[in-house]
Copies of this chain bind each other. A is one copy, B any other.
């Protein structure tokens, strides 16, 4: 029986492993200056439809966030995020460890709004307060929700107005872009942000995030920043090879779409049972609200994580599907839930 614990439980898509095997007989130069990284960057640029962008491959999400945020801020500047943002919650203070405060607002269903940003810009004025300089959002968010084009454009415009950089954490960007509710393209993402990344770890790679620098002012010397934070891999080509595979023949999108389809099926089952959800997630993370007893049973059986308390008797738990989720396992889960919840 499969777990629905997270989307990084299975090592990597076989195409990727096969490519790594093939490359073990080659010699590649180090630190991401090899041909695999070059080709992977070309494939991504082609997919985005832009030439004038820089692409760097890093090992993981927290690392990409901390390098991406800290490199572009002056010592006294801070980054705006929604309270549930990954950098504010589950990174053990990684951004603060680089010296920068995170300025938060509650947001809505895991999403930040222009109103939140404006409220911070109006509060943080003068040299006794941290100077906001960047906005951090995730797409899909930590609550499974996604930004639509109108929402992202509004945030982008708000950032432009206040002179803020916009950074998009795309650890689950594949899931966002292949969601049936999505109306954004990779090109939109690139046009509306200064810097974002395309997560590989949670979408079929052994590890790796492709960071895209869109704002020309942010390109210079970024490899220095990577090296200093331990993010310039000696075998950079191990990341390049994986992104080559992911962006060849649309594998990246196929894998993410599969995870979403599996989640949609599970979501429909919960809906049919009248189970409320913490957020109306159209991606591969679902947050059903169940009684504490049911939660215990499901967490044990499917490895789900406890998410948050809703009231004395109820809580939300998280189901996550992945590129490797087998449909039969989803069916098994649905059958079990139906039995359990219909009692």
Give the residue name and chain of the B residue nearest to A235 (CB). B8
Q: Restricting to A233-258, which residues have a CB under 8 Å from any CB of B?
A: 233-235, 237-238, 241
| A230–B231 CB distance below 8 A | yes
Q: Is A107 an interface residue (CB 8 A)?
A: no
Interface of A is mostly: loop
Give the contacts of A209-267 with B (CB-CB under 8 A).
Answer: 221, 223-235, 237-238, 241
Docked Cα-Cα span, A230 to B31, in Å, equals 18
Closest beta carbon of chain B to A333's beta carbon, Å: 14
Asked if A101 is an interface residue, CB under 8 A from chain B, the answer is yes
Query: Given known contacts A8-B234, A17-B21, what 9 new A-B pairs fall within 8 Å (CB)?
Result: A6-B30, A11-B241, A62-B227, A66-B229, A74-B221, A78-B96, A92-B131, A94-B228, A128-B227
Q: What 6 A-B pairs have minimum CB-CB distances, sorted nearest first?
A: A63-B230, A76-B224, A93-B101, A11-B24, A92-B228, A9-B27
Residues of A bordering B, CB below 8 Å: 2-3, 5-6, 8-14, 17-18, 20-21, 23-31, 59-67, 70-71, 74-76, 78, 89-94, 96-102, 127-131, 201-202, 206-207, 221, 223-235, 237-238, 241, 303, 324
